[in-house]
Amino acid sequence: MNPSKVTKSSDATAEADDRAVDTMVRRARAGIRRAMKVLRRPEARVGIIASPIGRLMVAEGPRGIAAIHFLWTGAADEALARLRRRFDLLDNETWRENFNRELDRYFRGDIAVLDRPVDLSLVESEFKRRALMRLREVPSGSVTTYQALAADCGAPDAQRAIGTTMATNPIPLFVPCHRVIRSDGTIGNYGGGVKNKLILLRNEGFEVGSSLKLPASAVMGHRRTLIYCRPDCGAARRSNPARALIFADARHARAAGLRACKLCKPG
């Protein structure tokens, strides 16, 4: 047999095989696409961003920011695995650059950047979700305490559970767990490091010194009466702690829509 004929015939068979495979792949794709409509996870963009509080892994899904992870704390693989179980992740450079610019604006003083929507679907417990949503209502320039937040969630004795919730907050910064301090006025711990908590609080107007205590200029505000007082005012002590906030100073309290107490005249 002529060897060139054999080569030609085997090439033709290979081509026919390729065509048959392509046809089958096309047929199968349609079925896969139909089935995937049911199975599909939502898409989320993810990236590593350098910021004044260290390198962060950030993910944003269709409903809002879904995760922020301080990379220096380790366990990035676990955080990524958790995200991948919930979302189809895309490392999108344009989105990463835009997000980086937004974060820069925050660190230059534009606190409104943190009002971006969040997606708490990675939080499994209902109590934790409620606590984190309540925390979102604490305005910039103010802080609350673990105890007050627990009371706000309807469980006044659950300050330790609130501590755990803050420690496992999947979206620090945007769910501002840096705005939760101890009842004695010291700033307490932070999942991203106390140093970073100081940076964030100072960025929002709190002149916290090396004693890690709130400044003397801080005033107590009340979200129901919309009145702010000196910390030693009797009216402030009698108010419901669940609705109380601590503002960096009178200016921040006024900016949040509160008026000065007529008894203690905080300025």
Partner 1 sequence: MAAPEKLDLPPPFEDAMRSLEREIMRFILRLTRDREDSLDLFQETWLRAYRAYPSLRSKSGLRPWVFSIAGNLCRNRARDRRRRERVIANDGRDPEFEAARFLHADHGSHDGVISLRRALAALPGKQGRALIMRKFGGMEYAEIAVALECSPESARASVYQALKKLKASQ
Q: Which residues bind partner 1 (CB under 8 A)?
A: 13, 18, 20-22, 24-25, 27-29, 31-32, 35-36, 39, 46-50, 55, 57, 80-81, 84-85, 88-91, 96, 100
Comparison of 5 and 238: residue with beta carbon closer to partner 1: 5
How far is the C-alpha of 94 from the C-alpha of 96, rounded, in Å?
5
Is residue 162 within 8 A of residue 127, CB to CB? The reply is no
Cα–Cα distance list, 181 to 1, 32, 59, 74, 166 (Å): 89, 51, 26, 24, 11
Is residue 135 within 8 A of residue 149, CB to CB? The reply is yes
Count other C-beta atoms under 10 Å from residue 106's C-beta.
Answer: 21
Cα–Cα distance list, 169 to 74, 162, 191 (Å): 15, 10, 8
Comparison of 52 and 117: residue with beta carbon closer to partner 1: 52
Comparison of 24 and 194: residue with beta carbon closer to partner 1: 24
Cα 103 to chain centroid distance, Å, stands at: 12
Comparison of 37 and 262: residue with beta carbon closer to partner 1: 37
In the residue annotation, 229 being an active-site residue is answered as no
Indicate the SS3 state at residue 164: helix
Least Å distance, CB 19 to partner 1, is 11
Comparison of 12 and 226: residue with beta carbon closer to partner 1: 12
Least Å distance, CB 72 to partner 1, is 11
Q: Phi, psi at residue 224, to the nearest 5°?
A: -90, -50
- Catalytic pick from 177, 229, 233, 264? 177
Q: Which of 129, 119, 121, 118 is nearest to 85 (CA)?
A: 121
Least Å distance, CB 28 to partner 1, is 5
The answer for 141, left when phi > 0, alpha when psi is -120 to 50, beta otherwise, is left
Least Å distance, CB 208 to partner 1, is 24
**Helix-, strand-, coil-residue percentages of the chain, each rounded to 5:** 45, 20, 35
Least Å distance, CB 36 to partner 1, is 7
Active site residues: 177
